[in-house]
Amino acid sequence: MSVRGCWVISVDSGEDGRSTGKTLFSRIFPSVEKRAKLCADSDHYVPLPDTQVFLEDLLNELGIQLTIKKFIGSRDSCKKVDQKPVFGVHTAAGVIWPVLVLEQAGLLYCCVPLVEVVGSSSQVSLIQIPGIAAGYSLLLGIADFVGKPQGEVLSETSSVIADLYLYLSCAAPFGTPQNVQPDIVRTTLQAKNTPVPKDKQPAWRPVAYKGKPNIYFAITEQIKAVQYDSSSIKDVWDLYGTVTCMAELEGIKPEVSVPFTWTDNGQSPTLNKFLFHHSVQSSTIGGSECRLEFFPPPEMFVLCQYTASGIDLPIKGFYQMKGDLFKADLLLQLKLKEHVKNTFQYCFVQLPFYNRGLIVNQDCTASHGSVSVSPSDGRTLVWNVGQKFPSKTLEVSLKAALLFDKAGSISKGLYDDPFCVGQNAYAQVYFKMTEYTQTGSMIEPKTVQVSPAAKVKVTVVREYLASDYKIWNSHGDAQMTFAPTLPS
């Protein structure tokens, strides 16, 4: 379960879909390299090249230096075996496989897990290599540690990159991933100089909390949906949720017991496909409740994730747009489902018009809220519905006639969705409600039990938001998939 080396590469995408890369961080573990040499016999051992050479070979393999718009045989050929996110990097000495690559926020995180099979590693399936799963977790940990650079451009000298050496020495000593959670690693590193406590702390709780006991729970439900307004194609949506927890409890190994409930009104909105944090000791799911018992780590963590079925769309939309390159007439109607909370933190709709000129004239009538053209790109109509739908009808509508710039018929420098040509268009709804979840999922603060028993302040917050909520134009074509009915 070791990795031979780790790399962090920054990728700048330039014009035409060509990208350039720069290595920000690299670390090779000589002891693992020695094991790799022993495992693979001399004919099959491929040494890891220098950082710069590895970078070039990797980018060649990914093919991101070349334009994405053209067919490049070495990257796009049908016979190329695709094992994403695992790649085989061709070097002068041979192929290095498996190279795990994780892309996040313009950075490539890579590692080469050790394959402990004698002979050629290419004869092994990914599922037989324990280092793959461990390496992937390590990459997630590194990515989490680096975080999303806000505004600043990362370089080799950035402090977070310099700290990665320290992080790896603790999270993966000698190339073997241990506890990769950045928060725990940070705490461990900071706690090095404090005296060893009398009672031994567990590894995932290196320092005991001192202070008032508090537990926070945040239940976030999200929905992504695609609506077609068509009798032949069914709308598709996914409702899923996350319970995040932060437990500030004293003691070596406090235990928490929580009943997590949701509404069961007979029409059975059921939560399923639960995924739990590894601190969860037992989970009992029955009816409309899931009881969780866990030993919370000191940092904030995702306690559980779930999906929901048997739930209707919270907002039903109908989008009708007719037009051409230069003008468009549209009607967009939204209807809030009954019993869904009618108080939004925000609710607005974006109607982007791709592959056209900028909007030069708009004649809009909205039954509710305000309409404007997005100042950032000049070709997206933004309808701010506001905080509430009319409580009687629960319906709002927008009628608009738009004229587009004829001179510069295609605006430059902006992203154009190549599918959205002619009348292929969509409206994207963004909303957020607080203190509400559509499944009624809830943690009642009074029912939270802590052992050893203590008076704990429990705070629960809930929110419900749209992550990707599209309504396709009924008069155009739409992206869709087909799923057959299967034998039961």
Partner 1 sequence: MSSSELALFYLPFCMKSHLGDGLFTKNEEELLLSHLMNRLNHPSLSAGQKLLLYDWVMHFPDHKGVVSQDPSVPYLLQPSQYHPLFPRVFDGTDTQLKKISILNLCYSPSDQPDSSSAVLMSAVKCLHKLVQYGVTGRAAVALFRALFFFYKRHHKSCLVADIQKFLTGIVTAHPKFAPHLIDFLACCRETHPESSLPLAVLSALSNHIVSLPETQVMENLLYNLQVLERAAQEPGIAPKPIVEFCISLLKTTTLCVEGNWRKGNGLLAVCRSILQYHNTNPVHVEFGDLLYLIFTFFEEVDIRDRARFYYAVLTNLSSDKTSGILLNPVTNSNTASQTLTSLMTGSTNFPTASPVITKQEPVLNLIRCSENEDDSEEGDISTIGDDVESTDFSLIYKKSRSFTDTRVTQNFQITLVESIPELEEIYTLVLHFTTDSNYEPVKEVCIPCLSLKQPDGTPRSDLYKASAKFSIHFKPWEPVAATFNVCAIYTGLDGRTYASSLGPIELRFEDLFLPLAHTKCSRHALVNGLWKIMSSQEDCTESVFVIETKQEDQPLILNSSLHWKLIGGKNEDGESLVGMNLPPNTHLLMKQKPFQGRTVVSVLTDNWRILPSVYNYLLGLAGT
Interface with partner 1 (CB under 8 A): 1, 17, 68-71, 73, 75-80, 82-86, 102-103, 123, 125-128, 130, 132-134, 136-137, 140, 177, 222, 224, 226, 236, 238, 240, 242, 273-278, 283, 302, 304-305, 307, 418-419, 421, 424, 468, 477, 479-484, 486-488
Least separation in angstroms between CB 420 and partner 1:
9
Sign of CA dihedral 372, 376, 378, 380: negative
In this complex, which beta carbon is closest to partner 1, that of residue 135 or of residue 323? 135
In this complex, which beta carbon is closest to partner 1, that of residue 163 or of residue 235? 235
Q: Are 4 and 148 in contact (CB under 8 A)?
A: no
Least separation in angstroms between CB 392 and partner 1:
34
Q: Are 271 and 240 in contact (CB under 8 A)?
A: no
In this complex, which beta carbon is closest to partner 1, that of residue 134 or of residue 366? 134
Q: What amino acid is encoded at 178 in this protein?
A: Q
Least separation in angstroms between CB 221 and partner 1:
11
Least separation in angstroms between CB 167 and partner 1:
17
Which pair of structure tokens corresponds to residue 34?
Answer: 């020695």
Least separation in angstroms between CB 271 and partner 1:
12
Q: Are 317 and 332 in contact (CB under 8 A)?
A: yes
Q: Are 449 and 254 in contact (CB under 8 A)?
A: no
Q: Are 148 and 111 in contact (CB under 8 A)?
A: no
Pairing of strands 457-472, 214-227: parallel
Least separation in angstroms between CB 130 and partner 1:
5
Least separation in angstroms between CB 11 and partner 1:
15
Q: Cα 96 vs. chain centroid, distance in angstroms? A: 28
Least separation in angstroms between CB 474 and partner 1:
16
Alpha-carbon distance of 346 to 343, in angstroms, equals 9
In this complex, which beta carbon is closest to partner 1, that of residue 130 or of residue 213? 130
In this complex, which beta carbon is closest to partner 1, that of residue 180 or of residue 247? 180
In this complex, which beta carbon is closest to partner 1, that of residue 305 or of residue 350? 305
In this complex, which beta carbon is closest to partner 1, that of residue 106 or of residue 369? 106
In this complex, which beta carbon is closest to partner 1, that of residue 125 or of residue 150? 125
Q: Is 84 exposed, middle or buried (0-12, 13-18, 19+ CB in 10 A)?
A: exposed
Long-range contacts of 333-339 (CB under 8 A, 24+ apart): 333/395, 333/396, 333/397, 333/398, 334/385, 334/389, 334/395, 334/396, 334/397, 334/429, 335/394, 335/395, 336/389, 336/394, 336/395, 337/312, 337/313, 337/394, 338/394
